[in-house]
A = this chain, B = another copy of it.
Amino acid sequence: MTTLSPTPRSTLTRKKDRGATDRQALYDVLDEALICHLGLVLDGSPVVLPTGYGRDGDTLYLHGSTGAGNLRAAAKGIDVCVTVTLLDGLVYARSLNNHSMNYRSAVVHGRARLVQDAEEKMHGLHVVTEHLTPGSWDHARAVNPKEFASVAVLALGLEEASVKIRAGGPGEEPEDEDRTDIWAGVVPVQTTFGAPVPADYVPSDMRVPPHVNRARAR
């Protein structure tokens, strides 16, 4: 059946000393994905919210979300789990049980802190903005003081992180070796970007700037 956690090809242990290869795999997943899912415990129950984020070295910056309003009170830190998933393929096997998905996922555990220092908060907003819409920081109108006060930024270290990758073809069972009547293989899944649609107030002769086209090309 379809589960996302068979075949962990690459798992980081919860130790601070780990191979550069694993660390790079973590960075690659975090840098390629567009959004994360932020998990936290509110009143004893789990809450999972889709959230914008960005990475700077071994720190993730998260954009404070309305739905997690309680986060603002958590200036001292709050246990979170940030999960990022890239779905790469649908895996059809000869047995239903070996049906699966190709994917890369990163799971980060830690205590997120609300960024209070103004300079770091602005830096965090920069990192989050450039992750999703690279080039916008220099192109668009800067954040004014009122806007700056209205947003929250969380910081989370990447000390406790793991990566799981499933890639390649379907698993096989000896009992299915002669079943040449069953198709098996992978349907690749990709995230693609369409042609930019200008807002109706943008002058009709204005070209789409290079940074927007670059974002599409990734």
Please tell me if the beta carbons of A1 and B46 are within 8 angstroms of each other in the complex: no
The complex places the Cα of A80 from the Cα of B44 at a distance, in Å, of 11
Please tell me if the beta carbons of B196 and A187 are within 8 angstroms of each other in the complex: yes
Among B34, B96, B101, point to the contact of A141 (Cβ < 8 A).
B96
- Report chain B residues within 8 Å CB of A64: 3
Chain B: CB-nearest residue to A97:
B147
The complex places the Cα of A4 from the Cα of B49 at a distance, in Å, of 8
The complex places the Cα of A65 from the Cα of B166 at a distance, in Å, of 14
Interface size on A, residues (CB 8 A): 100
Number of copies: 2
Please tell me if the beta carbons of A50 and B184 are within 8 angstroms of each other in the complex: no
The answer to whether the Cβ of A215 comes within 8 Å of any Cβ in the partner chain is: yes
Chain A residues at the B interface, C-beta cutoff of 8 Å: 1-6, 34-35, 37-41, 44-52, 63-67, 79-83, 85, 87, 90, 92-97, 99, 101, 103, 105, 107, 109, 125, 128-129, 131-133, 136-137, 139-144, 147, 150-151, 169-170, 172, 175-177, 179-180, 182-203, 206, 208-209, 212, 215-216
List the 5 closest A-B pairs by CB distance, nearest first: A188-B194, A2-B52, A39-B48, A39-B46, A97-B147
Please tell me if the beta carbons of A1 and B125 are within 8 angstroms of each other in the complex: yes
